[in-house]
Amino acid sequence: MPRSNSLTSRLRALPERARDWYVQEWLLLLFAVGMLLFIYFVAKHEAELERSEILRDSALVEQSISRRLDSDQLFLDRLAIDMGDERFSSAEFDRIASNRAIESGYITDILRVKPNLDVTRHAPALNSLETLRANRAPFVDQIRMSAITEKTSRSTYSQPFRNGTGRYFIEYAAPVITQTRYDGTINAVISFELLLLRAAPEWAHSKYRMIIRDSDGIGITSAEATQLETNAFQHTIPLSLPWRNLSLTLVGAKPTSLLPNITLSTAVIALTALMVWTLISLRKQQRMRQLAESERDRVYLQSIASLKTTNERFETVLDSLDVSVYVSELDSNSILFANARLRETFPGISVGQDAREFETGFVESPVTRYPTLRLVRDDGEPGEVLVDELEHRATNRFFLMRTRAVRWVDGRLARLTTLGDVTDRVFAERIRQTQQEKLTRTSRLMSIGEIASTLAHEINQPLAAIANYVNGCIRRLRGNGNPDPTVIAAMEKAEAQVSRAGAIISRVRDFVRTREPDRRPLDINALVTETAELVESDDEARALRVPFDLEANLPQVFADRIMIEQVLLNLLRNAREAMQHLKPHERVAIVRTRRIDGDMVAVEVLDRGTGIPAEAASQLFSPFFSTKADGMGMGLNICRSLIEYHEGRLTFEDNTGGGTIFRFTIPLNEG
């Protein structure tokens, strides 16, 4: 009888529960409809705000670009007037033009163009004249600009043009008038892409994508390649620039779906209340279902909850550590857990990923070591611990890795790995080693200087004695009644060699002792000729011929004579040693001088030796590095320091047909 009454009560309750579900479905439907209407009206309102805002911002961006260009036009026109009045030199023109181009950010080159369209100066001097000519406006357009400026004495622009890399530019020309005579133009090459990047306000770049289009609506800036989002707001406005038919387009983001006002707040509160009422109803239904569960299901749920709580506690402890931690299954290597520090340090890692994929990112992957570690003893319990210091390739950071076997929360064996960041310690050790090496080098350099000074002092005394003896022999021979001319000639040559040795010793002493450099105007061609005589020799072991290729009428350079002579002597001796494998008459080292870059002179030494090996090229100027078996490795390092003191450069390159060309530059005398 009680069984029958229970069944009847369930049957009576069934229609009531069905009615509750029916009402809840209608309420959820009304909630969805209300949210759709809410989103529609908010989106419509936001669209109107976005449209009005983009109209205003378009005008502001266009005005900003126009003002920047007007300022540059005034500068170029004034520069042309000053060049016509010869108010400053070509070097001053380079400095002023370079500063303006760098300051603007979108003027790639400023040129001095003669009436015959030849470019005589350009700044900044980053590209060669050949490259610059290739990136200018088409030749027809250059002729048109020159004709207009000559006829009207007013500035003009070229048509927008596209260079070899596919980027768009425009060229501005300002006339140079010298004593009422047309003397060419000052031209500026302007990049449209950089103009948009530099001239537009910073807030506009973060808020919009901007495009400059030509008269056909084709974009001439890189932003045109960006795919526009569907329904994105955009507005096009003509550019009030000296050239015509160009326009500026601003592309905005999609309209937002939020409206912070009273109407929105009321709607949100009402919809939230409706949602809460719905959730309360669903909660009642859930409690009714929970009461109908069997005792066996409740025990099962309690065991799952207990296991989950244990797991959460374990994960909480690992997440609080300052080291990266992950747990992977011992058999499949699948990652079971990764703590917060690991996910922060290595964003690509995730649970379920194969641990070997992650570990191969280190310089020495520990994967191959696992089978030999005895992570698990014979009795099935965790065994040894692996400790290793590894470098992560992607981040270039160093980690101390510790790996051991553990029992996971479900009882199976897993591998627990911790990664402690020791990058600071490794870098500190490297810095300490570098400082120690520098200290050792400095000590060796000081010792070399002391030894050289001592040798120069000690050798100079016997040389003076030899010179006195030779002079005495020459006087006695000449005092005899019948002197032998060949003997006297040999003694005179010996005297010359002693004097030469004394001069070399004097230069060594001047070089190693502490003194202030004496930079004076020098004739570089005369210095080259005199220095070459010191190394030329007819002796078979030291044979060397030094022909010259000297540019005539070179201006004087501003340099320390002893320093430059020392550099040239070192390069010529290196050239002779590089050609020791050749026959004596084939050992030829050409010395060439020429003027470069307007205010510098280049001196080149060309040999026919074996050349510089590729593996030694990067260390050739390093202290104590030498390609010679008995070399100290200081010659080229000192030479480079001397040339850099003169604000020049010492470089080398392969010589056509074999050998090497060493080149150093020194500045002209500007005094």
Does residue 336 sit in the same domain as residue 441? Answer: no
pLDDT digits (tens, 9 = 90+) for 431-468: 877 766 665 665 565 566 667 677 776 777 787 778 78
Residue 176 confidence (pLDDT): 92
**pLDDT of 261 above 80:** no
Mutual angle of helices 262-291 and 2-84, in 10-degree steps:
150
Task: Answer yes or no: is 441 within a domain.
Answer: yes
pLDDT for 188: 92
591 and 567: one domain? yes
> How many structural domains comprise the chain?
5
pLDDT of residue 256: 47
Q: Tens digits of per-residue pLDDT, 474-500?
A: 887 777 767 778 887 888 778 777 776
| 388 in a structural domain | yes
Domain that holds residue 658: 518-667
499 within domain boundaries: yes
Give pLDDT, residue 14: 46
Over the stretch 28-64, which tens digit does the pLDDT of each residue have? 667 667 776 776 777 677 777 878 888 888 888 888 8
User: pLDDT grade, residue 306 (50/70/90)?
Assistant: low
One domain for residues 643 and 536: yes
Residue 270 has pLDDT above 60, yes or no: yes
What per-residue confidence (pLDDT) applies to 665? 93
Residue 362 has pLDDT above 90, yes or no: no
Q: Is residue 358 part of a domain?
A: yes
Model confidence at 75, pLDDT cuts 50, 70, 90, reads very high
pLDDT number for residue 17: 52
Residue 236 has φ and ψ, to the nearest 5°, of -115, 135
What's the average model confidence in pLDDT over 362-376? 53
Averaged over 394-408, what is the pLDDT?
A: 81
pLDDT of 548 reads 92
Quote the pLDDT of residue 87.
84
Q: Does the pLDDT value for residue 205 go beyond 90? A: no
Residues 607 and 643 in one domain: yes
Secondary structure of the chain: what % helix, strand, coil (to 5)? 50, 20, 30
Per-residue confidence band for 595, with pLDDT thresholds at 50, 70 and 90: very high
Proportion of the chain above pLDDT 70, given as a percent: 73
Tokens coding 368:
């191959």
State the pLDDT at residue 636. 81
Q: According to the model, what pLDDT value does residue 199 have? A: 85
Burial 97-122 (b: 16+ CB within 10 A, else e): bbebbeebebbbbbbbbeeeeebebb
Please report the pLDDT score of residue 258 as a whole number: 44
Band of residue 259 on the pLDDT scale cut at 50, 70, 90: very low
Torsion of CA 419, 420, 423, 424, to 10 degrees: 170
Structure tokens at 127: 């590209």
Q: Of the residues 444, 479, 510, which one is the last residue of a structural domain?
A: 510
590 shares a domain with 502: no
- Residue 191's H or E segment, with its range, is strand 181-191
Q: Region 206-211: what's the mean pLDDT?
A: 84
| The pLDDT of residue 550 | 92
Q: What is d(CA 86, CA 58) in angstroms, rounded to the nearest whole number?
A: 42
Residue 605 has pLDDT above 90, yes or no: yes
- Answer yes or no: do 568 and 631 share one domain: yes
pLDDT for residue 1 is more than 60 = no
Of 196, 230, 263, the one marking the end of a domain is 196
**93: in domain:** yes
Do 533 and 660 belong together in one domain?
A: yes
The pLDDT of residue 184 is 92
Q: Which residue has the higher pLDDT, 1 or 602?
A: 602
Are the C-beta atoms of 175 and 191 separated by less than 8 Å? no
pLDDT score recorded for residue 213: 83
- List Cβ neighbours of 431 (8 Å cut-off, separation of 6 or more): none
Same domain, 578 and 645: yes
Question: pLDDT tens for residues 217-226?
Answer: 778 876 544 4
In a domain, 614, yes or no: yes
- Per-residue pLDDT for 538 more than 50? yes
Same domain, 364 and 504: no
pLDDT (mean) for 641-648? 87
What is the pLDDT, as a whole number, of residue 44?
A: 74
Higher pLDDT, 625 or 558: 558
Q: Which two tokens stand for residue 189?
A: 């090459």
Q: Which of 510, 531, 553 is the last residue of a domain?
A: 510
Structural domain contains residue 431: yes
Does 214 reside within a domain?
A: yes
Domain check: are 537 and 632 in the same one? yes
Smallest CA-to-CA distance from 548 within 562, 534, 528 is with 528
Say yes or no to pLDDT of 591 above 90.
Answer: yes
Does the structure show a pLDDT above 60 at 11? Answer: no
pLDDT digits (tens, 9 = 90+) for 164-200: 778 888 999 999 998 889 999 999 999 888 888 888 8
For 613, other C-beta atoms within 10 Å of its C-beta total: 9
pTM of the model as a whole? 0.38
pLDDT tens for 144-163 read 999 999 899 899 988 888 88
Q: Which of 23-27, 253-257, 374-378 has the lowest mean pLDDT?
A: 253-257
Which CATH number characterizes residue 492's domain? 1.10.287.130
Q: Please tell me whether residues 540 and 645 are part of one structural domain.
A: yes
**CA–CA distance, 670 with 299 (Å, rounded to integer):** 97
Tracing tokens 């002579």 back to the chain, one arrives at 565
